[in-house]
Structure 1
Amino acid sequence: MQPVSLFDLASQQAKWLSVRQTAVSSNIANANTPGYGMREVEPFEAVLNQTSVSMRATHPLHLAGANAVGEFNVRQVNDDHPTMPSGNTVVLENELMKSGEVRRSFEMNTAIVRSFHRMLMMTTRG
């Protein structure tokens, strides 16, 4: 079993959140651009599935996780989104909600890292 580095995971999530924030802000900025297709980043769960971090089952009925951090895929999304008369697929309300989710996730990530850093410093100081 390999050790889990919380700080590496938090750093990876912060990078992912930065990419997602860029995609969301690009969608918002191009909301009135004719023919612009909404862009989305792969979910962070997909990134975690590519890492060496996995869940350990302590009971046969518990779920297990999976396996190496790759690049984040930003893709154009055309499925379940309405197309405006201009050919644009951005729904501003959804993008603003995503923007709020990204902000809350950044705050949560920062709070977790701060707490673990404080705990680590207390254990090393004695």
Structure 2
Amino acid sequence: MFQNLDIFRTAMAMARHAGNQQALSSQNIANADTPGYRAREMPKFQDTLRDSMIGQRATRSSHLHGNSDWGVEGSINDIALDPNGNTVSLEEEMVKAVDAKRHHDKAMAIYRSNLSVLRSSLGK
């Protein structure tokens, strides 16, 4: 039963993705007035998780499985919003930051819950 604890790896990847999203949002917000700055966007978590967990099998298309090894690179948003060529939308960045916090909190809740189940099963 406890030979493969991929749930911990998935929760850690989810928390890391949320942290990277927070870092990217803060970088975008810091450069909101920089002329010509192009906002960077993170890919969705489920897109980053594909193809890395070889031992897992998806039984439904909505299951998360796959690669989570990527940096804080993100893609560049090329739609200019300001006359100076800046593509940062403070409203969108605030929404992304709140969403990242929710995902981080969810990842930590999953981690704590499964750690409690594991401790209970070991009798500790």
Q: TM-score range by the shorter chain?
A: 0.7 to 0.9
> How far did 1:30 drift?
0.7
- Aligned pairs, number: 118
Q: Distance in 1 between matches of 2:62 and 2:44?
A: 18
TM-score normalized by structure 1?
0.81
Runs of 4+ in structure 1 deviating by more than 6 angstroms, as ranges, are: none
> How far did 1:82 drift?
4.5
Secondary structure at the counterpart of residue 8 of structure 2: helix
**1:68–1:31 Cα change, 3 Å:** closer
> How far did 1:37 drift?
0.4
Secondary structure at the counterpart of residue 49 of structure 1: coil
> How far did 1:63 drift?
3.6
Q: Which residue of 2 aligns with 1:106?
A: 104
Identical amino acids, percent of aligned pairs: 29
Matches within 5 A, 1:36-47: 36-47=37-48
Q: Which has the larger radius of gyration?
A: 1
**1:109–1:55 Cα change, 3 Å:** same
Q: Distance in 2 between matches of 1:90 and 1:117?
A: 39
Q: Residue type matched to 1:55 in 2?
A: A
Deviations 1:61-108 (A, max 9, x none): x54766444324412111xx4420111001100100001001111111
| Root-mean-square deviation over aligned CA pairs | 2.2
TM-score normalized by structure 2?
0.82
Q: Which residue of 1 aligns with 2:31?
A: 30
Q: Distance in 2 between matches of 1:68 and 1:104?
A: 21
Q: Which residue of 2 aligns with 1:54?
A: 57
Contact 1:54–1:64, Cα closer than 8 Å, also in 2: no
**1:115–1:67 Cα change, 3 Å:** closer
Q: Which residue of 2 aligns with 1:71?
A: 70
Which blocks of at least 5 consecutive residues in structure 2 are unaligned? none
Q: Distance in 1 between matches of 2:62 and 2:104?
A: 26
